[in-house]
Amino acid sequence: MDSPENLRVSHERLGLAVNCQKFLEAMGISFEGAPAAYSLFSEMLVLLNEAEALDKLWPIFFSCSFCIRSRLQSRAKHLSNLC
């Protein structure tokens, strides 16, 4: 098992990795999509670990996964109350 050294010493990189992982969880990966999701996540870990510098836009893509999931759950609950 690979051990991403830079993720363990950089709180910024570790935080980005966790946000990406939570984003994937929020998306609800199907059994059929699991291999592709695993591959994508593994490549993302390598990128976060090996990149000299991280692009300042990186956090924007994954930092709002909780917001997205919360909004979707709230809307689903609201719609179920209407029925």
Tens digits of residue pLDDT in 23-75: 888 777 888 888 988 888 888 889 888 888 887 777 666 655 556 666 666 66
Tokens of 31: 């059994």
- Which residue segment(s) compose the domain that 56 sits in? 5-82
Full-model pTM: 0.65
Enumerate long-range contacts of 24-32, CB under 8 Å, 24 or more apart.
25/65, 26/65, 26/66, 26/68, 26/69
Q: Number of folded domains in the chain?
A: 1
